[in-house]
Amino acid sequence: MPETWLFLASPTGEPAWNMALDDALLQTAAQRSRPLLRVYSWTQPAVTFGYFQRYPAHLAAQYAVVRRPTGGGVVYHTADTTYTVVAPVGHALYEMTTAAAYCALHQAIAAAINAQAELHQAGVQSPSGQYECFQKPVHGDVVTDGKKIAGGAQRRTKFGMLHQGSIAASIPAAQLQRGFAQTRGALFEDYQLPAEEKALAEKLCHDKYATAAWNRKLV
């Protein structure tokens, strides 16, 4: 059944800003009341790492390093396609289990990539400890010929669900939209970031994601 989604094409952003905007979009999910797909890029080579991981100090000399609000492993943002899905409380994606929502969103990504892409089937949902996201596929990741080409991580709060994803290829936004239209029935409307959401993202960037207290904290 068709469903209206919002689409946010973000300009190239600093690493801390990219994470802050995702956080702001999650906190304001109820105000939009619709799922949102955001596609964005990076001003410089960057690394994001999962909320529960240790700060990867050995990478800081070569990359801008920032902790994500979601879990998962180390992801290198040099030539990937990065996207975000935010769904408000009560939406079907929010009501799913994490594993089911992960697979549902990655079905859309697989459809967008090519006919050979499929979801990896495995019993383990996610490895623990310090690891790189694309080292090996886990259940629900997108693979071609057994090689992982897309993964993601999720977080649920009282505001909604945040899914942060990375694709190890350059995928045009229109192609991603077609994948979500094919598998989720999504009909997209362009979304312009309101001033209050931009202000919240700027505050989160300054007070949280650009700080050593956030990025180097022990968890």
What is the pLDDT tens value at each position of the chain, 219 positions in all?
799 999 999 999 999 999 999 999 999 999 999 999 999 999 999 999 999 999 999 999 999 999 999 998 899 999 999 999 999 999 999 999 999 999 999 999 999 988 566 676 664 455 555 545 555 556 677 888 778 888 899 999 999 999 999 999 899 999 999 999 999 999 999 999 999 999 999 999 999 999 999 999 865
Quote the pLDDT of residue 130: 57
Backbone angles phi, psi at 143, to 5 degrees: -130, 155
Q: How far is CA 155 from the centre of its chain?
A: 10
pLDDT of residue 136: 58
Name 34's Cβ contacts closer than 8 Å, sequence gap at least 6.
Answer: 4, 5, 6, 88
pTM: 0.90
pLDDT given at position 1: 76
Give the CATH fold of the 3-215 domain: BirA Bifunctional Protein; domain 2 (3.30.930)
∠ CA 65-39-133, rounded to 5° = 45
Q: What pLDDT does 139 receive? A: 63
Q: Residue 124: its pLDDT value, please?
A: 47
Q: How does strand 46-49 pair with strand 64-67?
A: parallel
Q: Where are the domains of the chain?
A: 3-215
pLDDT of residue 140: 72
Q: What are phi and psi of 190, to 5 degrees?
A: -65, 140
